[in-house]
Structures are given as C-alpha cells and as structure tokens.
Amino acid sequence: MTRESGKVVKDIHALPDGHARHGAVTASGTNVVVTAGAGTGKTSLLIDRILHLLTRGRDRLAMTQIVAVTFTNKAASELKLRMRHRLRLMKELATGRSPGSELHDYEIRSIRTLQETSGLTDEELAAVSDEAMREVERAHIETIHSFAGHLLRLYPVEAGVDPSFQEDDGTRFHEHFNHEWDQWLQRELDASGRRHDVWRRVLARYGLDDVKQLAQALTDELIPASGIRTSQQAITPHLRSWLATLRDRGRLLQERYQGTLKISRLLDAAVALLAGVETNGMLRSHDADEAVVLQQTIPTKTKAWTDEDHEEAKGLIKVAQAIARSGSESLWDAVQLLSPFVVHCRSSFVEKGLVSFNGLLARARGLLRDHPHVRAELKEQYQAIIVDEFQDTDPVQYEIILFLAEVAGSEARQWYHVQPAPGKLFIVGDPKQSIYAFRRADIEAYDTVVRDHVLAPAAKGERYALQGNFRTHAQLLDPVNRCCANVFPSTSVEGLQPPYEPLLPVPSDSLPLPHERMELRLVTLAQEDADAETSSRAEADALARWLRDDVLEKESLLVGGRAVPIRPRDVAILFRTFAHLRICLEAFRRYHLPCLADGEKHFYERQEVIDCSLVWRTLIDPRDELAAVGVLRSPYGGCSDVEIESIVQRGFLDDWAHESSLARLPPIFTILHSLHAATQAFPVPEAIQYVFQALPLAELAAASIDGEHALANVLKLRDVMLALAVRSGLTLREIVRQVGQWVDDPPDEGERPLVEEGLTSQGPGGAIRLLTIHKAKGLEFPMVVVAGLHRDVDHHKASVWTSHDWLTDTIGLRLGEAADLGGIFLETKVAERQRAEQVRLLYVAMTRAQRRLVLSAALHGQGTTRKGTLLSLVARGLDLDVPAMVEAAQEQSQCDHLVGNVAVTTTVVPAHQPTQKT
C-alpha cells in the first residue's frame, strides 16, 4: 500500500501511472530515467527498485554492490529507515507471519510480485532479507559527498590525500586561506617582492579586499587549475561561436528595423563591436567609436518595435556594453599575480590532511578519470547505481557517476566519451523542480547527460514518467496544472526548460472541504508611490490579521478523512527570499502568532551570534573598548545610546575591570570580571562550557523576538567554539579571535535547524513555519501560503565573481567593472537560466500543499504586475486580469470573486494606513 495525504492505494495498477511505475522498477538490461513529478512517491519507487535488484533471480545483487546517491543526508537516512522496514516486512511474509495492518497492503503486493517475477522460494526470500538487513548499514545509501569521501579513502595514494583526511565544511579552509593570504601578501609587498610594478597597476584600479575575494574564489577546487590563465589568450571556439550567433541575430534585427532611432544606433554599434571581437579575439583601437556610442543608455520600447524584438536587442546591446567597458587587461594582471598563490593555497590545505566539500568531488572525479585500474576495480564492485534528485546534481557529480557506470573494458579519458553499461544506471529526477542553480545545478548538463549518455541507443536507455500525485486532491491539482501548463513550454527548450507534464490525482474516498482550494489574496495600496518594502509590509500585516481572525481554529482541513480545525502547525508560509521572510516574521510576532523561521541567512551575521562574540571578546580582553561598547548596547548590557555616551565620557571603560568602574557599569561586567579570572584555571573546552553556563546567553536569546531560533544559534556557537578547542589546540584567546574574524568576514555557514535541538514546541497547536521555497523543496504541508509574489527578482551582480561552465569548459571572471569574455558569456547565460528558473520555482512552491494553497501579493496604484515576478507568471498561467481586479476593488474595501475554480480576494489598504496596530 501507499498512503499519502489520507489516500490508500492497494494495487500499483490502480494508479494513473501504474504501468510506468512497474516498468521502471522491473526494467532489466536497460538504463532507466524516471521523471518523478512533485508528490509522486519517488522514495517508494527507489525502495521497490532496490528490492528488485536484491531479488531478481540468478542476477540478484548484494546491498554492497548497489550505490544509491541521495541529495541530502536526511534523504539518505529516510531511505535507509524505510528500506529496513521493507526488509523486515519481507522476512515476516517469507516466514508466514502476518503484518496485520492495511497500511502494509501495497508493500505486500509489491513483495509478492517481485517474488513471482524472480522465482524465489520463501526460504530464499527470507535469506535475501536477512543478508540485506545485515548489510544495509554498510551499504552506500548516502550523499555524493559521503560516497566521494569513501572512494578517496579507498585509494588515498592515487587521490593524493592523507589516508585519514578530514572533511571540511568550509570553516577550516576559511582559517587556512586567511593565514596563507596574510603571509603571502606580506612577502609580495615587502621590499624583497619582485612584482611591485604589477601590483601598482592592479591596486590602482581595484581595492585589496576585492583582489583577496577573487583569490578566494579561485581556490575553489571545482575551478580547473589548468584553466586559470595567467595571460590573455585567444578567443576559444565556443566563445567565438557565441559572438557570431549574437552578431547574426543583431543583423537580422538591423534589417527588420532600419532607421535613425537611438536604439538602432546602439544596435549598429553593438553588431559592429561583436563582429570585431569575434574576428580579432579582443577589442582593437578601431572599436573605440562603437564603445563611445555604447556608453548611452538603452531607450524604452517604441511602437515600431515588438516586445520580443526589443528585449532581444536590449540583450545584444548589454553584452556589447559589457565588452566595451570590460577593461580585462588589469584583470589579467590580477590573475597573473594570484595564480601561484591559488595553487599553493589549495595544495597546502590538502597537505594538512583536510579536504573541502568541493575538493571531495573534484578529487573523486580525478581519481576515476586519471587512474583506469581504480575505475576498473570500482566498476566491478558496484553493479548498480541509483541517483535521486538527478536534476539538482552538480555536473562534476555526473562525471563521477558516468565513470562508475562505464561499460566494462572501456577506459574513456573524458566524460563525454563514456558509454554507460546497459542496465547499470537508474536515475530519478524532475527537471521541472531544478531550482538550485546557485549550487551549480545545471539543467543544460542534465539534458545533455540524459540525452547523449543514459538514453543513448548504445546504453539501451528507457524513460518513464511518474505523474500520479499522492499529495494533493483533484480540485487543487486542477488549477495548479492549468497554471503550470501555461507558463512552461509545450515542448522542451533544450538546456533551458522542460515541457510540463500534468500531475494526475490518485483517487480518494474523501471530497475536499469548501476552503480546500487554491486562493489568490491581493493587497492593493492606494498609495501611488509605495515601494516594494511598504507593499510587502502591508501584505504581511494583512496575512497575519487574516490568519489570526479568520483561519486558525476557525476553518477546517481534512486530516485522516475527518474535518479538524486548522492549527498553526498545519500552515507553512513560503518566500522566494529570506529578506521578505523577515518582514513577515515581524508582522506575525506583532499579532502573537506562534511561528518558526527557517531561513538562509549567514550564521555569523545573526544578531545573537554577534552579541555573544562581543561578550567573549570583552571577557578575554578587558582593554577591548569597542567590544565593551557593543556589550553595553546589547541585551546583556541594556544601555541606551545616551547612557553609553555618558559611560564613555566619564572614562568608566578605560579600565572597566577596576572596582570603581564596575560599580557604575551594568551587572554583566562584574560577572565578566570574575569569569576572566576563573577561566584561567580550566582547560579550554571546560572554560567554554563554564562561561556558557554562567552567563545568561541562552536565556536572553530565547527571550528575543526570534525566540527558539536565536537560542539554537547560541547553542551552535557554543558547539563551534568547542569544536575549535578540540580539533585545533588553539588557546581560548585564539578561539575568541577566530570567532571575531568570522563575524567580521562571515564564511558560508547556515543557521542551526531547530529540530537539531528539539526546539519545535510552541504550545499544543504548534507553530506556523516560515521558510524559503528552496528550503521547502521535498516537504509538504496541509496548508501553504506562497507570499510576496509581487517582489522583483534580485538582479544584483556580485562585484567579484568566478564561475566554470561545465559543458563548454569556460571559466568566467569578474573583478569590479572588469570581466573577461568568458565572464560576460557566463553572466548572460546565468541571467537566462535565472529567468527560466523562476517558472520552476513557482511550480515547486505550488506543489507543496496537501489540502489548501493560498497565493499572496501586494500591489499599488493601478495594480500593474511587474514582468518577471512570480505574480506575473500566476496572472499569465491563470489568465487573470489583475488591473481589472484592482479597479473593481477600489469601490469597496474588499472584493471577493471566483475566476474559474480559484477564489480571488482583493483588499484595499488606504494611503498611509498604519500596519503596526494589532
């Protein structure tokens, strides 16, 4: 049986996609690609496939011959847990014991079908179960990083790593980089340095912090060391082809729109410059006239131009403008300076017995690619490779998987020559849910690997589609399908966007309640000049008031076939960005709604972490007046700016540890004074524990507006400091200094999930979850509100940027205004991918709801929806005339109506109406 959202399915053939599921599970001698839509039960499919491999007659495999790669550790743990459950059930059936529960009905049928297909007796089935249960903990059901680490430990010499290396989450490399940078920079800039002339040219244009940031970006092991060029080289064939394509598109537009308009002059200059660079490989002196013209701004569209052609012309002109102002000579100077340091920084880190997360992938790929005997042994060991969430896989992971899946006897030197062995690969993914481009997920690489390798004729590949949705009822799926079908293309746009495959509802005995539907809630501001921040605050206020007054404990959802009042724990609010989440969190706190935020902000930028760092700095060094002022301003000191000014002016911080000063300072300083002496008597780990117990750090964090979330972060800071003490042998002063450096220059470090500390209790009704759409992927909730649909996509470009495009093997660099041609190409490509990813982001958000989906946005003026926002996609997908809805609502404070089977509520907020009142 499969039970999801109250749906019980006793037979796989009763599912709308039952034939596809059965075919994928039992496929033999062919590689399999499964496209699993949202909520289609892919974990059950993975378990069925593994069981099929364990029981398929004479060709059956052992658990240790199977590699199952998951996207997260949580997914790996769940897969192992459910695998053990299914194996226990198999043993019970084989030995004649009855599970005695309807919940097992589908699983029983599945096991019996597998047994019939394999021809195993009950005794053989029980033996398979026993053997698999013994091996399941040793089986490679894990993330690709864990598996890569395993490969490196098997072959440390070939991989060039210490056999007992430790995996680094980024914090140790941050320490290593800063130490190596300081030493190297001192050697470079002191009197004995040999490249002062190059440094003068570089520092005349760039700040030293930007140069350091570029160096750190180049130390990423996924940036090929061989591609970090030390001098400006000729244009690559791929970049030349890209420029030629742009040039030709520009010439077609020139022919179509001949004239003297400003945009025509800009287009003429852009085409001429693109043609010159394509021919010569770089800007020449005769390109100066075009560069001057291209300094002008691009005009708005006129009636003579279509929207599509104007957008294309803008794109061409922007590329030409970027090339014209690139100034890449100084960038090459910087790269030339940094290249030796980058090589040394990478190698010296590994020599310390440490490997970064990206280093695990890069070195595992190199191990398999460059050592044929290693690859041959591993290909023999692992006879089946199963990959989950294939669409979100880093392209370097594709190389690892392809090399392991290679046909026996072959030794391809590059991934694109690999021919997978038929029947060895089973990959599951959904390109419609590919939303992790910022983590190097590459939908173009996905399409290429699937089309040219897994499904290639020689690999005997087969594709199956899972469309039966267990999560959501039919009345809610209908508008979701309608919307998505209108915003996804009808046919695949190779390398950019897949076509839409509708989700098919799994039959259910229960009819939805009246409010179990899709709703669109619009807040419109009469204030014409309202900005995005004002609009978002009005939306957050309206949402909080509506949930409190009309929804929680007042309306119902079906749970287990019966109607129950909606509790806070049933509701999740999803956001595209963390910034909007914070706005909504503030409103929910004002309305006293129990809620938990799960965002993506840097750990070391959290206020409670900064405050704790200041307390530690003051404790360790009473002369650190800046830290002491921070403590006075923090909740631990509780002083106003006026009080702080008085304390400083009267000199109480000059020697605050003196008895006369302590009498005039908040009590925290007396405690710090005593702790300063007490910690001298403890070993470092015990001193850290002692201070966290003696000070009210956790208590004050728990009392803050972020409550349990802030508490969890304080506890994480304690653990970080303890880990530093144990692993590095640093003194307490050095640990505090290191934490202070991380606060000043934050590494990528996520906040602690509340579940790690068990901090999820918010009363009997639980708490509303607030999280980004990315965090919500893979999760489901009874009621989902997708908020902030009106907000623009953040088009901010990093001032320092390095990237590597896997398919074209192009490295792109940006340093301030300077960018190489590869950098401009990749920025253009990334922008196009981001636009396409917005559609997929909307699909992921809309498919998290089990019973009720609410879409929320704020508008102002005439209700125009900005192009590129999620609201513009919803309006197009559901064929909504948003301005007309706003106009209809102007006559009254609220307007409710149905558009098809979508309930639309438009609420008018008068100009300057306060949103703080509760």
Q: pLDDT: is 421 or 6 the higher one?
A: 421
Query: How much is the pLDDT for 100?
Result: 60
Average pLDDT over residues 232-253: 89
Average pLDDT over residues 564-570: 96
Query: How much is the pLDDT for 525?
Result: 84
Q: CATH 3.40.50.300 residue ranges in the chain?
A: 2-147+357-470, 518-600+762-794+846-909
**Alpha-carbon distance values, 311 to 255, 260, 867 (Å):** 16, 19, 12
Question: Is residue 165 within 8 Å of 152, Cβ to Cβ?
Answer: yes
Q: CATH 1.10.486.10 residue ranges in the chain?
A: 603-750
Q: Which two tokens stand for residue 389?
A: 């969430």
- HSE-CB of 547 using CA atoms within 13 angstroms: 31
Which pLDDT band, with edges at 50, 70 and 90, does 4 fall under? very low
Angle at 726 between CA 628 and CA 346, to 5 degrees: 95
Helical (H) or strand (E) element with 18: helix 18-26
Pairwise CA distance, residues 411 & 419, whole Å: 10
Which pLDDT band, with edges at 50, 70 and 90, does 1 fall under? very low
- Report percent pLDDT > 70 for the chain: 92
Query: How much is the pLDDT for 601?
Result: 55
Q: Which two tokens stand for residue 721?
A: 């400091």
Query: How much is the pLDDT for 283?
Result: 65
| One-letter amino acid of 610 | I
Strand 166-168 with 354-356, pairing: parallel
Which pLDDT band, with edges at 50, 70 and 90, does 796 fall under? low
For residue 153, the Cα-to-chain-centroid distance in whole angstroms is 28
Query: Into which CATH architecture does domain 603-750 fall?
Result: Orthogonal Bundle (1.10)
Which pLDDT band, with edges at 50, 70 and 90, does 793 fall under? confident
pLDDT of residue 759 exceeding 60, the answer is: no
pLDDT of residue 485 exceeding 80, the answer is: yes
Query: How much is the pLDDT for 599?
Result: 57
Q: pLDDT: is 221 or 292 the higher one?
A: 221
Which pLDDT band, with edges at 50, 70 and 90, does 349 fall under? very high
DSSP string over 696-743: -HHHHHHTSTTHHHHHHHHHHHHHHHHHHHHHH---HHHHHHHHHHHH
Average pLDDT over residues 847-859: 96
pTM of the shown model: 0.87
Nearest 10 degrees: Cα torsion 184, 187, 188, 191:
170
Fold of 2-147+357-470: Rossmann fold (3.40.50)
For 129-166, write each residue's pLDDT tens digit.
Answer: 999 999 998 999 999 999 999 999 999 999 999 999 99
Q: Which two tokens stand for residue 548?
A: 């409190």
**Alpha-carbon distance values, 235 to 286, 822, 846 (Å):** 18, 9, 44
Fold of 518-600+762-794+846-909: Rossmann fold (3.40.50)
- HSE-CB of 243 using CA atoms within 13 angstroms: 26
pLDDT of residue 832 exceeding 60, the answer is: yes
Q: Which of 111-120, 597-606, 667-676, 866-875 shows the lowest mean pLDDT across its residues?
A: 597-606
Query: How much is the pLDDT for 755?
Result: 44
Pairwise CA distance, residues 11 & 757, whole Å: 40
Which pLDDT band, with edges at 50, 70 and 90, does 756 fall under? very low
Query: How much is the pLDDT for 724?
Result: 85
What rounded mean pLDDT belongs to the chain?
A: 88
Which pLDDT band, with edges at 50, 70 and 90, does 911 fall under? low
From 736, 775, 408, 285, select the one nearest 576 (Cα to Cα): 775
pLDDT of residue 36 exceeding 50, the answer is: yes
pLDDT of residue 918 exceeding 80, the answer is: no
pLDDT of residue 6 exceeding 50, the answer is: no
